[in-house]
A and B are shown apart, each in its own frame.
Chain A
Amino acid sequence: MEAPFSTKVPSSWMTNWVFIGRGIRHSLRDVDAMVMAIVLPVMLMLLFTYVFGGALDPSGNYVEYVVPGIILLCAGFGASGTAVRVAEDLSNGVIERFRTMPIQSLGVITGHVVASLFRNLIATVIVISVALLVGFSPAASFGEWLGAMGMIILFILAITWLFAAIGLVAGSASAASGYGFILLFLPYLSSAFVPTQSMPRWLQGFAANQPITPSIETIRGLLTNVPIGDNAGWAVGWCLLLIAGAFIWCRVVFHGRSGQR
């Protein structure tokens, strides 16, 4: 009555596909996270345009400046959930089970990363839609839109892999969300909301050279036709470096956990 013993293994393509499906299901069923992904961008967009905007740029054009910053700020919030999910999988034993199976079990992390990309692209579309409603008038060609989307995707991947690594090292879901907060603070110390030249000199060095500033300047340049200069190179370089670094970090921590306990 029982099937004969099986020693089958799935292809690595299939493994990743299944894990991506799992990650997206997790995202869709986490009502808090989905509400956050949809409501937060709207709230921030309105807050920065109508509450702070007048003070920051009395000419009324602050919305033109702030859109890229809000996209990346939301991406950070959206990606932070990845740290919590990875930490949960680790603490409830699901990852251990995957690791006794003959599969590329790191795929479980990839699944969460792809789900985060999916959540954050929805948030990005919402930010841009609300921005257009409140007066954002981008001057981008189709090619520039594509370039901006590419930059946004690269940034989401970089910050999500970082959050995934934080989730792996944190040890618990609440610790993961605590450590993740540090990353969420970084957009405020960039050119997201005010030009870095307006900051005190000691802060400028950090603010102008951290990865978020060139990423924002690149998106801003593509959408509103301000000069990009060498920002695009820095932004792409930073993001690729962060993705590679965080991915290797994840791999080492993930596989290094054997031999412990």
Chain B
Amino acid sequence: MNHAIEVSGLYKSFGGHTVLNGVDLVVPRGTVYALLGPNGAGKTTLLRILSTLTTPDAGTVRVAGYEVVSQKNEVKRSISLTGQFTAVDEVLTGEENLVMMGRLSGLASKTARTRAAELLERFDLTEAARKRVKTYSGGMRRRLDLAISLIVSRPVLFLDEPTTGLDTLSRRVLWEGIKELARQGHTIFLTTQYLEEADQLADTIAVLKDGQIVATGTAEQLKAQVRTDRVELRDAEDQLVSRVTTDGTIRDLLGILNDLQSRVAADVRVSIQRPTMDEVFISLTSGDKEVSA
């Protein structure tokens, strides 16, 4: 009850094809939760169920303490969704988009305009405020899209692949925006294909594969689970001489070093590398082994 999102035993299939196959998850209030998964894993379907757009086949799903099917309207009052594809009105200007959404969220006309001006400023869109969205770049649209979902402050925010297709700079700007929202106490549930993004933003990362959550934890916990630390040997010119994977135990490391000592020069330097998030991701989503923190 004290959690922002609670899902248990969630199933959803479309025309005989099972998309979500028993999802359980809990997101504590005020935390950032990143759902990671390859294309087709069911991320968007899960997000659509959480935001009342799709009805679950089985299981209980509560958002902000309300049940998504029987208390749809209460859920809608507590959430804001930024979809995978920007959903902005191209015919209107950026400012008109914000004012319209503000009024549709219950703000008086004057308040909506003040709030719109604040958000345009914050997302660096003030100059383009009176231009039609049709003329905006991809990054500007995405920023407007996020600004729209903040026009009133709903406690739970859903972001479906918020930075897909953005250049590095726009991505950083959005990340800062998301971090700021987390500091203000919003619960944020985001999906992403970028491990770095999950690593940067999330308190908890979950990996969704074939309709099930196959791993949950912090970035470090996930890395530890994968157990593919590597011993790297580099020569004086920093060229890689050898790379061997290890489970990280003393016994294994001694064995590796003894073995290498006879074959490499004495001035070769040794380092132990943690797996990158990419390796974690590939390991978790390609193997059949279930891991859990």
Bound pair: A and B? Answer: yes
Shortest Cβ distance from A30 into B: residue? B91
Asked if A8 contacts B105 (CB within 8 A), the reply is: yes
* Chain A, Cβ-Cβ closest to B80: A100
User: Are B103 and A92 neighbours in the complex by a CB distance under 8 Å?
Assistant: no
**Is the beta-carbon distance between B54 and A259 smaller than 8 angstroms?**
yes
Distance to closest chain A CB from B56 (angstroms): 9
Contact flag A100-B104 (CB < 8 Å), given A94-B87, A261-B48:
no
Chain A residues near B103: list those with CB within 8 A: 10, 14, 18
**In residues 1-37 of chain A, which contact B (Cβ within 8 Å)?**
1-10, 14-15, 18, 21-22, 25-26, 29-30
Flag A25-63 by CB within 8 Å of B: 1 or 0 each.
Answer: 110011000000000000000000000000000000000
Q: Provide the residues of chain B in CB contact with A5, threshold 8 Å.
A: 153-155
Min CB gap B218→A, angstroms: 26
A260 smallest CB distance to B (angstroms): 8
Q: Which positions 63-121 of chain B face chain A at CB distance < 8 Å?
A: 73, 76-81, 83, 85-92, 96, 100, 103-107
Point out the residues of chain B lying under 8 angstroms from A7, CB to CB: 77-78, 154
Partner of A6, one of B51, B83, B96, B154: B154
* Residue contact A100 to B153, C-beta cutoff 8 Å: no
B53 within 8 A of A: yes
B77 proximity list for chain A (CB < 8 A): 7-9, 102
Which chain A positions have C-beta within 8 A of B87?
92-94, 96-97
| CB-based nearest A residue for B72 | A102
Residue ID in chain B nearest A19 by CB atoms = B104
Question: B48's closest neighbor in chain A, by CB?
Answer: A261
CB distance from B2 to the nearest CB of A (A): 16
Q: Are A258 and B54 in contact (CB under 8 A)?
A: yes
Tell me, rounded to whole Å, the shortest Cβ–Cβ distance linking B286 to chain A: 27
Give the Cβ gap from A91 to chain B, nearest Cβ, in Å.
10
* Count, chain B residues at interface, CB 8 A: 38
The answer to whether A6 touches B55 (Cβ under 8 A) is no
Cα separation A18 to B105 with both chains bound (whole Å): 11
Q: Is A103 a contact of B96 with CB atoms below 8 Å?
A: no
**Are A10 and B154 CB-contacts (below 8 A) given A30-B91, A100-B81?**
no
B-chain residues with CB within 8 Å of residue A258 when the two chains form the complex = 52-55
Query: In whole Å, how far is B4's beta carbon from the nearest beta carbon of chain A?
Result: 11
Minimal Cβ-Cβ distance residue in B for A3 = B153
Chain B residues with Cβ below 8 Å from A99 are 52-53
Q: Is the CB of B105 within 8 A of A6?
A: yes
Verify if A101 is at the interface (C-beta below 8 Å from B).
yes
A170 vs chain B, min Cβ distance (A): 19
Contact of B53 with A96 in the complex, beta carbons under 8 Å: yes
Tell whether B239 is near chain A: CB-to-CB under 8 Å. no
CB of A29 within 8 A of CB of B91, answer yes
Q: Which chain B residues (23-48) contact chain A, with CB distance < 8 Å?
A: 45, 48
B184 beta carbon closer than 8 Å to chain A? yes
**Chain A residues, CB < 8 A from B53:** 96, 99-100, 258
Minimum CB–CB distance from A29 to chain B (whole Å) comes to 5
Contact A2 B106 (CB under 8 A): no
Contacts of B100 in A (CB 8 A): 18, 21-22
Question: What is the CB-to-nearest-CB distance from B29 to chain A, in angstroms, rounded to a whole number?
Answer: 11
Q: What does the 1/0 interface line of B170-209 toward A look like (CB < 8 Å)?
A: 0000000000000010000000000000000000000000
Asked if B152 is at the interface (CB within 8 A of a chain A CB), the reply is yes
Least CB distance, B210 to chain A, in whole angstroms: 18
A26 touches B91 (CB 8 A): yes
Cα of A90 to Cα of B10 in the assembled complex, Å: 27
Tell me the residues in window 96-126 of chain A with beta carbons closer than 8 Å to chain B beta carbons.
Answer: 96-103
Which A residues touch B54, using CB under 8 A?
258-261
Within residues 225 to 260 of chain A, which ones have a CB less than 8 A from any CB in chain B? 258-260
Task: Tell whether, in the assembled complex, residue A25 and residue B153 are in contact, meaning their CB atoms are under 8 Å apart.
Answer: no
Shortest beta-carbon distance, A221 to chain B, in Å?
Answer: 40
Task: Give the docked Cα–Cα distance between A5 and B52 (Å).
Answer: 20
A26 to B91, CA, bound (A): 6
Q: How far is the CA of A9 from the CA of B103 in the complex (A)?
A: 9
Which residue on B lies nearest to A22, using beta carbons?
B100
Pair A2/B91 contact, Cβ less than 8 Å? no
Could you tell me if B106 and A93 are in contact, using CB atoms closer than 8 angstroms? no
Q: Which residue on B lies nearest to A4, using beta carbons?
A: B153
Bound together, the chains give a CA A25 to CA B91 distance in angstroms of 8
Give 8 nearest A-B pairs by CB, closest first. A8-B106, A93-B87, A102-B76, A7-B77, A6-B152, A97-B87, A100-B81, A10-B106
Contacts from A to B (Cβ < 8 Å): 1-10, 14-15, 18, 21-22, 25-26, 29-30, 92-94, 96-103, 258-261
Add 11 more A-B contacts to A93-B85, A258-B55 (CB < 8 A). Answer: A6-B105, A6-B152, A7-B78, A8-B77, A10-B104, A21-B100, A98-B104, A100-B52, A100-B53, A100-B80, A261-B14
Jot down 10 A-B pairs with beta carbons below 8 A, ordered by A: A6-B106, A8-B105, A14-B103, A93-B83, A100-B52, A100-B79, A102-B76, A259-B55, A260-B14, A260-B54
